[in-house]
Amino acid sequence: MSQPLMYIDTSEVREGALDELKIAIEELVAFIDANEPRILTYHVYLSEDGTRMTVVHLHPDPASLDHHMDVAGPAFRKFAHLLTMSSIHIYGEPSERALRQLHEKAQMLGCEDVAVHHPHAGLARLGR
């Protein structure tokens, strides 16, 4: 049985871009809600001063992350002028296709740091 995956990315918000970024993020969240029924959670956090953004999503399995990258991936381009990505961290075992797409996303948004953290031990109580 496939294990869940957690995705976390961090970005620096470009000066003067916060208001436009907030609108774009709200549109992206609505799009994901309407088009990705398998994603378990998708949350965007902004630092108190609005200079840093963190995105966290949880997938039940690698296929859900693959679907997310295929469906939402084209929307990432609209963020390129609003932020500079610092890192992407995946906790779990992504597919090679998703990993390739994540590297492309990172480069497009100004970063090279894509790290995969392989599971060692744990449990999941999803769907309870």
| Predicted pLDDT of residue 28 | 96
State the fold for domain 7-117. Answer: Alpha-Beta Plaits (3.30.70)
Check if the beta carbon of residue 53 is closer than 8 Å to that of residue 13.
Answer: yes
* Residue 76 pLDDT: 87
The residue written with tokens 């039940």 in the block is 60
Nearest-angstrom CA–CA distance, 46 and 65: 23
Q: Evaluate if residue 6 carries a pLDDT over 80.
A: yes
Which residue from 23, 24, 43 is spatially nearest to 33, judged by alpha carbons? 43
CA distance 1 to 62: 11
pLDDT tens track for 48-87: 999 999 999 999 999 999 999 999 988 888 889 999 999 9
